[in-house]
């Protein structure tokens, strides 16, 4: 087995490879949409321990497996972590058949994050991927060295954005492009998280996609805003809510300067209410947090610790994202207090 340490050039090459993989996923979905209807995309193909897999997911899954078999450099054998594969306990590796102990990297992929948005042609989804040096079961989000995220456009979109980065690159090292899906033209894209110093008249939200836990999450959210800004008497709302049903999409909204705060407390809120099998965020959903943190944003646990979780398909991940450290400093202590009040000791057991 080759134990030569990876160089920065190696990670840059892998970053570019992830972008090429995601280009293929995007193009495959656009082509499939031209010959399929919404009902076909929306059919349930499988139900796993992590989530429901729809017809549209099977298109992207096949693209990932086919691309890795042909295009991933054999000198960097990898273990693939992706919902729907390897769940029988047999690791999926490339080149196929490579013993797990001989793999050098672990690749985590969410082929479509925001499936429900895209399968009804409602809002763009995202394809997410990130890679870390292989450390077996100990490999976690904190080990990720390169990440890429590519927009999966709705049928009326001509432009799809793509962002990628290598750890340590900083804001100037975030590679951002807009891609014309009609012509293939690629242009530089400028993204920058908001530099606002408060939340007034901006978008800031806690995830509450589904009925389960919505009321309790809203109580935490309202308590946080009451503490930060008080109950305003103005007719105009001071904080705007946006429920983008895609963790990758939420990361993009922070990156692009659209949102100032987004948080997902489901792994804390739902167990406190007795829900044991509800849908939550998983490591593959949040694997591109690296792009935001390199751009100057903040991603952490709800109690302010560095975010980490095993690179798998099952671990629940609670997280808070902020456009900048000033905003994080304002919200962090208030959120701690609100979570402590509404979910008690339970919240400290979440990731």
pLDDT score at 350: 43
Residue 344 scores a pLDDT above 90: no
Residue 328 CA to residue 321 CA, distance in Å, equals 8
189-245, pLDDT tens digit by residue?
999 999 999 999 999 999 999 999 999 999 999 999 998 886 554 555 589 999 999
Q: Which two tokens stand for residue 167?
A: 């750890």
Mean pLDDT of 173-180: 98
pLDDT score at 351: 39
Residue 306 CA to residue 299 CA, distance in Å, equals 8
**Does 8-188 carry CATH code 3.30.540.10?**
yes
Mean pLDDT of 342-349: 64
- Give me the chain's average pLDDT, please: 91
pTM, 2 dp: 0.91
Confidence band, pLDDT 50/70/90 cuts, at residue 86: confident
Q: Domain limits of the chain?
A: 8-188, 202-349
CATH of 202-349, one of 3.40.50.300, 3.40.50.620, 3.40.190.80, 2.30.30.40: 3.40.190.80
pLDDT score at 231: 59
């Amino acid at each position: 087995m080759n134990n030569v340490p990876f160089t920065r050039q190696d990670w840059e090459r892998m970053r570019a490879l992830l972008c090429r993989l995601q280009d293929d996923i995007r193009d495959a979905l656009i082509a499939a949409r031209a010959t399929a209807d919404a009902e076909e995309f929306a059919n349930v193909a499988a139900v796993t321990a992590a989530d429901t897999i729809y017809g549209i997911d099977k298109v992207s899954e096949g693209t990932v497996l086919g691309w890795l078999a042909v295009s991933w450099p054999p000198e960097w054998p990898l273990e693939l972590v992706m919902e729907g594969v390897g769940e029988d306990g047999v690791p999926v590796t490339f080149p196929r058949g490579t013993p797990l102990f001989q793999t050098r990297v672990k690749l985590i992929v969410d082929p479509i994050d925001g499936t429900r948005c895209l399968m009804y042609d409602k809002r763009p989804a995202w394809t997410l991927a990130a890679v870390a040096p292989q450390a077996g079961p100990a490999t976690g989000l904190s080990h990720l060295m390169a990440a890429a995220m590519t927009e999966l456009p709705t049928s009326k979109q001509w432009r799809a954005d793509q962002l990628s980065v290598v750890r340590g690159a900083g804001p100037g090292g975030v590679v951002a492009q807009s891609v014309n899906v009609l012509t293939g033209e690629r242009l530089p894209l400028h993204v920058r998280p908001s530099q606002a110093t408060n939340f007034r008249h901006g978008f800031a939200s806690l995830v509450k996609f589904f009925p389960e836990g919505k009321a309790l999450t809203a109580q935490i959210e309202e308590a946080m805003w009451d503490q930060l800004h008080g109950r305003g008497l103005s007719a105009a709302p001071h904080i705007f809510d946006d429920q983008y049903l895609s963790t990758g999409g939420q990361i993009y909204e922070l990156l692009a300067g659209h949102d100032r705060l987004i948080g997902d407390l489901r792994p804390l809120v739902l167990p406190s209410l007795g829900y044991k099998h509800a849908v939550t965020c998983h490591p593959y959903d949040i694997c591109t947090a690296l792009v935001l943190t390199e751009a100057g944003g903040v991603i952490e646990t709800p109690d302010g610790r560095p975010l980490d979780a095993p690179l798998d398909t099952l671990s629940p991940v609670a997280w808070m994202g902020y456009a900048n450290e000033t905003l994080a400093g304002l919200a962090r202590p208030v959120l701690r207090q609100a979570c402590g009040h509404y979910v008690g000791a339970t919240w400290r057991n979440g990731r």
